[in-house]
Structures are given as structure tokens and as C-alpha cells.
Amino acid sequence: MTKITFLAPAERLLDEARCALEGNDKDIDFSVGLLSEGVRVVSSLVSRGTEIVISRGGTASAIRDSGQDVIVVDIPVTGFDIIRAIEKAKCHGTHIAAVAFPAMIRGIESLISALGIDLRLYPLESEHEVEDQVKQALSDGADVVVGGYVTLLATQKFGYPAELIESGREGIIQAVAEARRIAHARNIEKAKAEVFRAVLDYSYDGILSVDQTTRISVFNPVAERITGLRSSEVMGRKIADVWPTLRIQNVIATGQEDLGQILSINDTDVLCNTVPILVNEQCVGVIVTFQDVAQIQKVEAQVRQRIYATGHVARFTFADIVTRNEDVRRTIEIAKDYSLADSSILIIGETGCGKELFAQSCHSYSRCKDGPFVAINCAALPGQILESELFGYVGGAFTGASQKGKPGVFEMAHGGTLFLDEIGEIEFTTQGKLLRVLQEKKVMRLGSDKLIPIDVRVIAATNKNLKKLVDQNAFRADLYYRLNVLQLRLQPLRSRKQDIGALAEAFLQEHATDRRKRLSPSAVNALESYDWPGNIRELRNIVQRLMVSCKQQSISADAVKLALADLEEPVEYAPETLAGYDEIAEIRNALAKARGKYTLAAEILGIGRTTLWRKMRQHGLK
């Protein structure tokens, strides 16, 4: 609330003001002070919060001239006030002198002829002239003097009659109404200013403003933090002296905004928007908003991780790798060194030997361990579907696509690790698109023309000889060398038989409901005598089977041999050897009925979509 004070030159006017307001004065403070004394009183009032002062005549002028941070509202002296004073003065004689400040006697000349009096004017410029002007008026033959409170006191000092030009109720009410209008406007401006200040102080953007002369007039706290410059150092300076690379002359000249500039200030890269301030279609200044690019990237990574990376976390570390084999331990140490680098890692090993376990461990040991770990099996999906999973797509990009679109695994893995399992199964055309993403570090969703920057560490895995595939033109050489920067080769389980017992015990304790169940030494020997073509995954499956099938607490060698006997290869019959069965014809017939829709064709055949795709590739039907 804006504080208003009514400053009267004398108690007499104070009483008149209270009477005029008739009790409607709760928002008004009252005080007394004449001329220089009034200036001193106002100085004290301002320190206590007064913002608007109502006063009259010379006192109002003196307060205004004192330069104090206060709004001064004059109590107007109306023609009625002057007439009333002159009518009283005529009782003392016809020669009347008006000794007053100009604000009080403005327009009095027009009353001289109308009132039929001899009236002379003696205007005052300061309170120190009052006595001299009164003497001059009396010397000139004045019978009576009219004027303000200071004139009244001076004239009475010389023993001559004087009449006060009093402020009537009309002038007092008018002045108070004007002060209230100003106070209301100031309250509105204060509210706007507080909003503006809050925006400046709590905005995530650095904000500065310059006027037409390109001098800085606003420099908020975020701008100080980003630039390393203090507001007190730059206010009033030319923007070219503070930020030479920020060119705003064209914005001032054309009145056109300039958005999305990436500039540097004090070795900090910022994303900058420059917008003109237009008044009546004329540019009167420029607002510049900017953000630290590094902070934008950090926030973007947090948003992506929160939105997309739910559940995409690495569950394993190097501590989870069970081994007694020196070669495996050396591989772990090499993997730790690789984890701290930013280059791609290619993990080579047979199916089931723990490639994803190593991939997750590398992520958990890396600098991006707090980011997402996203894994995708490249052999599980047909080419087009795989591309949509890798790169994402916009709404309606292809038949069956979600209208909302979908981010690809590259976007999901932003700020973390993307694990591409069975990389050797990717189609040749998709390999080229993957290579471009890895080189550019930008991904474009299917159906879009916008590039999305990504920061992803790639770990690929394969159970194939990629170099041989390169020689056979089945795998792109440039993609192979892009992926094969750091290479890890994992030993098959048959090469680390001393780990079989420890792994089996670990799986047993992981899945067993009866913690007392154990493998007998002979059972461990039986496990070690097997070659494990399915490696660790196969060993886990056998342990789970033993837990279900063996009722004793100690698992015997016979139980192990019985479980392993079930793994003997069954006789396989090629579809072509079955009487009356032609798989190729069946697939083609199903596709024709489904009009090329793979999902429907798979349902007709009674198989899964992935199985259908694998059979089509096997028979060359793609």
C-alpha cells in the first residue's frame, strides 16, 4: 500500500482537511511543517515510508525542489479561495497587496477589474524574500496584504493587517483525490514491478536489456552466474564492450527478433534469443535471454532419463561375475579399463557365455553409470521393426504406428549406455543407418526431418565372426571398425571348468527355496565332465531343473547325469521330408490370405511373428 501524508503549513489547515474529509481519512497521515521546516519533516516521513505528500504553495515547491524521492501533490488555490481572502481584505482598505508564491496567485490578474480593487502582485521565489516583499508592498502604500501563512506572519510582525488565502474544502478534496489516484496507479505498477523482478530473479534464463543506445539497463542474477560478471560492473555500459559477439544492431534497425543463436561469452557457450522492444512500431530497446548450453544438455538428459528410462537400469556389476579362472579375471580387469573410456566396446563370445553380464558391468563401472542402460536384441526383430525400435518414429510414420510416436532406444539411452546384442544379425541397409547415427551422434525418427542430438556409449555383442562377415560383404566394414574400437573376448564355459562348480552353487542358492540343498562333489564332477555348448545359460537351466527334480538335500551325480541325458539332440526332420508338406508354399499362402500383413499371417500359420520372419529369411522369402 502506498503511504500518503497530508502536510499542512499550520494546524489551522490540518483541522480544515480533517473536516473536509469527514472521517474518510484512514489512508492519510497528517503532519505540520512550513517551507524549510516542512522539507525537514518530509525527509523524516520518507524514511518511514511516505511516498506521496499533499501540501500547498511554497511548501510544496520547496519539497519538490529538495530532490527527495517523494511525489508532491499541490493543494490547488481556487478563484473562490482568492475571492474570499480579498473580500476580507477590503475591510482594511482598497489598496491590497498580494505577496505569495506564484502557485497561489496564478490567474489573480483576471479578478482585479471584476472586483473593482487596487491590487498589486509581489510574487515570491523563496521564503527568504517574504519580509522584503512585504516591506516593499507597505512602502508602495498597501493598506492590507494577502498571501500564505508565511506572508501572514511577516505582515503581522510589522503591525499591519493581513488576510490568509486559505485552501477551501474543494481544493483539499481535489488534492486528496489526486493523491489517491496516484497511489492506486503506483500500487498497480508496484505489483507489475514485483512480478517483473520475480521473473528476472527466479528465471532459469539469463536476462539482459539494452536501450536504443545499446547501453545495458537490466542484468539479472542468472546472467551474472552464467557470464561471471556482476550487475554493478555492466549496468550503463555499451553491450559491445561487455559482449562483443552479441550483435543487436540489426534487431534494433529492423525490429525483427533473432532466435536460437549459439554464442560464447567469457568462454561459456550459450543459447541466445534477441527480441526487440517495440513502442508504436519503433524499437526502443532489446531484451536478450540466454541459457548455458551445458545446463540445457544436463536438464535434457534428466528429462529423457525420467520419461524414457524407467526400468532401463543395469542390475549387475563386475562383483557379480563368479570366476576362479585367471583368464576371466584378466578379462575383467581389461573390461574395467575399457569402461572408463568413451569408445565403443565389442564383446565377442558364444551364446550364453555372459556377454550382457559384462555389458551391464561395464556400464555400472563407467562415468555414465547414473544414466540408463538400454538393451536390444538385434536378431529378435525384422528389419523395419528394428529400425523403428532403434531410431523411433513420429506419429503415423507407417501403418500400425502409434499416433503419438515413440522414441527409439538411442533416445532412451541418452546419457547412458546402449547395448546392441547380436549385432551381426542386422540387415545390411539398417547397418548403414546405424553407422550414420554413431558417426553424427544425432538420430532422426522415422517419418521426421528433425535431428535429435544424443550422447550414448555403445556396447555391441556378437557370437559370430564379424571379420569373416565383412570379407563376405555381409557386414559393413566401416560399421565393424566403428564398433570394434575396444574388444572383449569371453571364454566359453568349457574353457573355464574350474568355474562350473562355483557357478552351479551360486545358481542353486539364487533359486532354491531350501537353502540347505547342496551339490555333492560327485555331482560337481559330473557337471564338469559336460562340454556345455549353451555355456552359462545352459548351466543355469540345468541347476533349475535339478532343484525341481531332485528331492534330496544333496544332489547326486546320478541326478546330474539324468538331467544332462535329457539334453541329447532330438532327431530333426526337414520340412521337405514330411509327406505332403511344403513350408514355403504354406508361408506364401498365409501371406496371400493376410495381404502381406506379417502378424495376421503368423496367426494363420499358428506361429509367432518372429518365427515367421526367421523362416522367411531362411527360405529367401524376404
Query: Is the predicted pLDDT of residue 239 greater than 80, yes or no?
Result: yes
Percent of the chain scored above 90 by pLDDT? Answer: 40
Instruction: Tell me the average pLDDT of the chain.
Output: 86
With beta carbons less than 8 A apart as the criterion, state whether 557 and 589 touch: no
Which of 460, 465, 399 lies closest to 435, judged by CA?
460
Q: 461 falls in which pLDDT band (50, 70, 90)?
A: very high
SS (H, E, C) 462-521: ECCCHHHHHHCCCCCHHHHHHHCCEEEECCCHHHCHHHHHHHHHHHHHHHCCCCCCEECH
Neighbours of 114 (CB within 10 A): 9
Helix (H) or strand (E) holding 98: strand 95-100
Closest by CA to 301, choosing from 241, 370, 218, 384, is 370
**pLDDT reported for residue 281:** 84
- pLDDT value of position 591: 82
pLDDT attached to residue 572: 44
CA distance 263 to 290: 9
CB distance 560 to 526 below 8 Å = yes
Q: What is the pLDDT of residue 580?
A: 40
Question: What is the number of alpha carbons within 13 Å of residue 475 lying toward its C-beta?
Answer: 20
What are phi and psi for residue 212, nearest 5 degrees? -60, -25
For residue 73, the cross-strand partners are 54
180-224 residue pLDDT tens: 999 999 999 888 888 888 888 888 889 999 998 899 999 999 999
Query: Measured between alpha carbons, how far is 493 from 564 in angstroms, rounded to an integer?
Result: 16
Poorest-confidence range of 60-74, 439-453, 585-599? Answer: 585-599
Flag whether pLDDT at 44 surpasses 70: yes
Per-residue pLDDT band at 479 (split at 50, 70, 90): very high
pTM, to two decimals: 0.52
Q: Give the pLDDT of residue 513.
A: 66
Using 50, 70 and 90 to split pLDDT, how confident is the model at 499?
very high
- Contact, 288 vs 210, CB < 8 A? yes
Q: Classify 528 as helix, strand or coil.
A: helix
When pLDDT is cut at 50, 70 and 90, the band that residue 305 belongs to is low
Of 299, 390, 315, 326, nearest to 357 by C-alpha is: 315
> Residue 103 pLDDT more than 70?
yes
386-428 pLDDT tens trace: 888 898 888 766 665 567 788 888 988 888 999 999 999 898 8
Mean pLDDT along residues 572-579? 40
> What is the Cα Rg of the chain in Å?
46
Q: In the structure, what pLDDT confidence band is assigned to residue 304 with cuts at 50, 70 and 90?
A: low
Q: With a cut of 80, say whether residue 515 has pLDDT above it.
A: no
Give percent of the chain with pLDDT exceeding 70: 92
Sequence-distant contacts of 324-328: CB under 8 A, at least 24 apart: 324/498, 324/499, 324/502, 325/491, 325/495, 325/496, 325/498, 325/499, 327/491, 327/495, 327/496, 328/491, 328/496, 328/499
**DSSP designation for 69:** S
pLDDT in tens, 548-572: 888 788 888 888 888 887 655 544 4
Lowest mean pLDDT among 71-85, 151-165, 241-255, 385-399: 385-399
Q: How far is CA 142 from CA 90, 101, 117, 192, 524, in A?
A: 11, 18, 12, 56, 134
Does residue 144 carry a pLDDT above 60? yes
The three cell numbers of residue 211 are 536501450
Q: Residues 159-174: what's their mean pLDDT?
A: 89
Domains of the chain: residue spans and CATH: 3-76+171-184 (3.40.50.2300), 99-165 (3.40.50.10660), 204-293 (3.30.450.20), 309-483 (3.40.50.300), 494-565 (1.10.8.60), 576-618 (1.10.10)
Please determine, for residue 611, whether its predicted confidence score (pLDDT) is greater than 50: yes
Q: Decide: residue 516, CB within 10 A, 0-12 exposed, 13-18 middle, 19+ buried.
A: exposed
Summarize the confidence of residues 9-34 as an average pLDDT: 88
